[in-house]
């Protein structure tokens, strides 16, 4: 029951901010084919075709010590606040965290489509809980990339299947534990898909 309350406090009701320009094209889907053209009578058309790598390759190369901005960035627990601010800029808003000794920070990356939320430890300023909320129409590939980042590149087949089942409406929620992390993937009443990952000793 506690996590449902956290979902309400961290992700609901955020105001609008601009999406960093490097993230906007990612919403078109990581497997869309991009076609560029310039003077095709001089160079063959295939010279201008760019094929993004398969999703599996992107997931394998995605994580570093700090996310680099592939897709919607997924920040894993343990990352410090300054690294989040450095990538995402000033947050949409902040508030007192629901759990003791925490501070909540919110980002509305794409109005009415993609939101991020973080619970920071007030003393160490490390992420203790990381969240993402997607409008249901956002592609599952984008959600998988974000989830993989939130898990520190430890996404496995079972968790991937859980996300797909929630995304496809086969189940309302999927919960899991991965080493020292716990997680929840849930389709909310607003038809948004919520992903929350937190350190197991947080709540």
Residues in the chain: 203
Longest dimension (CA), the chain: 66
| 157 domain-assigned | yes
| 115 domain-assigned | yes
| 46 domain-assigned | no
| 14 domain-assigned | yes
What does pLDDT average to over the chain?
Answer: 74
Contact 94, 104 (CB under 8 A): yes
User: Strand 34-35 and strand 49-50: pairing?
Assistant: antiparallel
At residue 139, what are phi and psi to the nearest 5 degrees? -65, 150
Contact 121, 113 (CB under 8 A): no
Domains held by the chain: number: 1
Range of the domain at 193: 2-28+55-199
Distance CA 49, CA 20 (A): 25
**Span 55-81, pLDDT tens digits:** 444 444 555 544 544 567 889 999 999
β-bridge partners, 203? none
**Span 108-150, pLDDT tens digits:** 988 889 999 999 999 999 999 999 999 988 888 889 989 999 9
Task: Determine the pLDDT at residue 111.
Answer: 87
| 33 domain-assigned | no
| 47 domain-assigned | no
Residue 159 clears pLDDT 90, i.e. is over it: yes
| 34 domain-assigned | no
Task: Determine the pLDDT at residue 190.
Answer: 87
β-bridge partners, 183? 176, 197
Contact 73, 87 (CB under 8 A): yes
Percentage above 90 pLDDT, the chain: 48
pTM exceeds cut of 0.85: no
| 36 domain-assigned | no
The sign of the torsion formed by the CA atoms of 77, 80, 82, 86 equals: negative
DSSP assignment of 2-56 equals HHHHHHHHHHSS----PPPGGGGGGGG-TTPPEE--S-TTTS-GGGGEE-PPPHH
Distance CA 70, CA 36 (A): 21
């Amino acid at each position: 029951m506690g996590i449902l309350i956290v979902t309400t406090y961290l992700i609901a009701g955020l105001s609008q901010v601009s999406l960093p320009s490097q993230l906007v094209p990612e919403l078109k889907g990581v497997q869309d084919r991009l076609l560029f053209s310039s003077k095709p009578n001089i160079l063959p058309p295939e010279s201008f075709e760019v094929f993004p790598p398969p999703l599996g390759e992107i997931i394998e190369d995605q994580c570093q010590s700090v996310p680099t901005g592939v897709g919607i960035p997924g920040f894993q627990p343990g990352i410090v606040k300054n690294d989040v601010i450095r990538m995402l800029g000033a947050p949409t808003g902040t508030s007192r965290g629901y759990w003791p000794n925490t501070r909540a920070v919110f980002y509305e990356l794409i109005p009415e489509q993609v939101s991020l939320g973080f619970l920071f430890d007030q003393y160490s300023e490390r992420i203790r809980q990381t969240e993402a909320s997607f409008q249901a129409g956002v592609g599952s590939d984008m959600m998988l990339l974000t989830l993989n980042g939130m898990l520190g590149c430890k996404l496995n087949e079972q968790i991937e299947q859980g996300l797909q089942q929630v995304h496809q409406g086969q189940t309302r929620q999927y919960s899991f534990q991965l080493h020292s992390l716990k997680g929840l993937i849930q389709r909310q009443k607003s038809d948004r898909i919520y992903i929350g990952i937190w350190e197991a000793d947080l709540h």
